[in-house]
Amino acid sequence: MTVLTNPETVCPFGARRYNAWNEHVKARYGGRVQKVSVIAGFSCPNRDGLVGTGGCTFCNNDGFTPGYLDRRQTIAEQIDAGLDFLHRRYPGTQRYIAYFQSYSNTYGEFERLRACYEEALSHPGISGLAIGTRPDCLPNEVLDYLAQLAGTYIIELEIGVESCNDAALARVNRGHDFAASVDAIRRSAARALEVTVHLLLGLPGESNESMLDGARQLSALPIHALKIHQLQLVRGTALARQWQRDPASVPLLDEPACISLLADFIERLSPTILLQRVGSEVPPSLKLAPHWNLRLSELAPRISAELARRGSWQGCRYPPTGPDSVVAGGCGSLIQTLTSY
């Protein structure tokens, strides 16, 4: 769909055309902030039987675990290895934060959680934490503690929402509904914690309409940032096996359809929500489908180019007032909102 905006309206985000997290972080902290992944050995209530078994049908943690990690090492040793790798890859980085990424990193006895977080924070090269978890694993005791840490350190709470559609969540054995995500986000934000949401586009049971409505639903919540992932079938997962048995049961987005959907979604997303990522990439050895020629590093420029072609940007259709609504005015109130954010 081509969006026709007022030709005098200026995109508030420059050539990128969306509110990029990296640019926000550089302005806020005076340079790049890089995440150092660590594995703390936590589990997931959707695997150990508390809410389910087998895990989410799309999940294989090896698909996003950096090669430098060794589960046998202590957290401090993993950070040392990660910093050695990242110093070479991203020279000039100003700060590093420990990223508790695999599984649900607020799921466990509170004293064990605290010990793991504090071991990471005691490392001289670490300025804070990014903690990945599920919305049904955030007791108030943990949130209160993270809020206390946020007074001294960079604390980013990453919540796997994955979908705003309950039917899609049920089909992938997620083990919680969207209401659980809404509750977790609101309780976290009430403690002034900065919440990053993970969203997975293209799940079975979703339609373009339901995914775009997700932009509206997320925009209504106190979210600091968003990570968008496109569905990729990872070897060893239940969803990959389902696709191999019956490809029609797991329809996949091809490259043009994904770029179009992402542009549509970004247009409808609140302009105050930072975009940490607009796609993801699974190692070729683990990825079963879809097969694109596009690398992750090329995806963001392609989306920016598509938004530029349309003459649109993040939030130009927010808030929606109809199926084809477009912000066509001078954008003054939008720019005022962004500069005061």
Confidence of residue 327 (pLDDT cuts 50, 70, 90): very low
Amino acid at 141: E
Tokens 């202590």: give the residue. Answer: 74
What is the tens place of the pLDDT at every residue in 122-181? 999 999 999 999 999 999 999 999 999 999 999 999 999 999 999 999 999 999 999 999
Exposure string over 175-200, b if 16+ CB within 10 A, otherwise e: bbbbebbbebbebbbeeebbbbbbbb
Choice between 53 and 333, residue whose per-residue pLDDT is larger: 53
pLDDT at 315: 97
Q: How many CB atoms lie within 10 A of CB 218?
A: 23
Tokens 């954008």: give the residue. Answer: 331
pLDDT at 68: 67
Helix (H) or strand (E) holding 99: strand 95-100
Residue 341: pLDDT above 70?
no
- Residue 168 CA to residue 232 CA, distance in Å, equals 15
Q: Which DSSP letter does residue 193 get?
A: P
- Residue 261 CA to residue 170 CA, distance in Å, equals 23
C-alpha distance from residue 179 to each of 19, 164, 172 (Å): 26, 9, 17
Confidence of residue 65 (pLDDT cuts 50, 70, 90): low
- Residue 105 CA to residue 32 CA, distance in Å, equals 24
Choices 1.10.600.10, 3.40.50.300, 3.40.50.720, 3.80.30.30: CATH for 14-339: 3.80.30.30
Within the chain, residue ranges assigned H as helices are: 21-29, 75-89, 110-121, 140-149, 166-171, 178-189, 208-219, 238-245, 255-268, 296-310, 332-339
